[in-house]
């Protein structure tokens, strides 16, 4: 029996999802994409989960790309379907109602960078490298790389990464705005755990409102985004967590949020 493509561990309110194909540098084949889609759907539906951390198994790679051996034999129709499968997963992740942190422990190339960019926060080891090297295979990014790179770091950097196909260091990725933070490799687990714990203590309904507002605002005109933000802001006044947060502030004590 083949090994499961994912390893999933719960640590309190934090769910850790790891792509578990270290012998293939965690490359994304169809089975892995489908398993990830199911795992994120499960995390979204589980009320005990408040934060998700996504990473790759082994010391070398977050995800080194899509599975080239599988792609090599695809027909044009199958290639389009494979792209749509990957894009569907990325949309599910970026629309998740709970924060998702990408723990980039090694290579995040091609589909791996596209997977990381769909997450809400990205923390990279200082030894990691990221890139969109599809040009070297006679391909273009297929899981949203050209579009999310454009929104994260602008036209010039997007064209550089996609046209040249040369991976860049974690430090340069931080300068371009592709990753949020770069830490020493031996500190990566601790830092991501610290961020995940902070998010797990935060008000879940407010986190969801922020994620919704940023997502909607990124796809509409400013006026529409501002209107949506005001509506979400008003909804928070119907929550017990808002009353708890403001009361705790006035009482100078830590809040205890209940997701209500």
The phi, psi pair for 104, rounded to 5°, reads -90, 95
**Whether 134 is catalytic:** yes
Do 152 and 120 touch, CB atoms closer than 8 A? no
Catalytic residue among 34, 134, 181, 224: 134
Q: Which residues contact 222 (CB under 8 A, 6 or more apart)?
A: none
Catalytic residue among 34, 70, 114, 219: 114
Do 62 and 128 touch, CB atoms closer than 8 A? yes
For residue 28 the two structure tokens come to 């994304």
Q: Where are the beta strands (DSSP E) in the chain?
A: 6-11, 14-19, 51-56, 61-63, 100-104, 107-109, 121-125, 129-131, 168-169, 181-183
Torsion angle, alpha carbons of 179, 93, 71, 169, to 10: 10
**Whether 160 is catalytic:** no
CA distance 115 to 87: 9
CA distance 176 to 122: 13
Residues annotated as catalytic are: 114, 134
């Amino acid at each position: 029996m083949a090994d499961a493509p994912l390893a999933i561990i719960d640590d309190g309110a934090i769910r850790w999802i790891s792509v578990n194909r270290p012998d293939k540098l965690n490359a994304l084949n169809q089975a892995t994409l489908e398993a990830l889609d199911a795992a994120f759907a499960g995390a979204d539906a589980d009320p005990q989960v408040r934060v998700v951390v996504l990473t790759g198994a082994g010391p070398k790679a977050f995800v080194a790309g899509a599975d080239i051996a599988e792609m090599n034999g695809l027909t044009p129709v199958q290639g389009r379907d494979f792209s749509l499968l990957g894009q569907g997963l990325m949309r599910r992740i970026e629309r998740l109602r709970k924060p998702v942190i990408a723990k980039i422990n090694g290579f995040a190339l091609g589909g791996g960078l596209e997977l990381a960019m769909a997450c809400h926060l990205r923390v990279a080891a200082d030894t990691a490298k990221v890139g969109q090297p599809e040009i070297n295979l006679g391909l273009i990014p297929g899981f949203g790389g050209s579009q999310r790179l454009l929104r994260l770091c602008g036209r010039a950097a997007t064209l550089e990464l996609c046209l040249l196909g040369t991976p860049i260091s974690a430090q340069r990725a931080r300068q371009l705005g592709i990753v949020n933070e770069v830490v020493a490799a031996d500190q990566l687990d601790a830092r991501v755990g610290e961020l995940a714990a902070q998010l797990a203590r935060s008000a879940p309904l407010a986190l969801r409102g922020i994620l919704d507002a940023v997502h909607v605002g990124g796809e509409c005109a400013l006026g529409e985004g501002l209107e949506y933000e005001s509506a979400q802001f008003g909804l928070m006044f119907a929550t017990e967590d808002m009353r708890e947060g403001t009361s705790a502030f006035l009482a100078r004590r830590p809040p205890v949020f209940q997701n209500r």
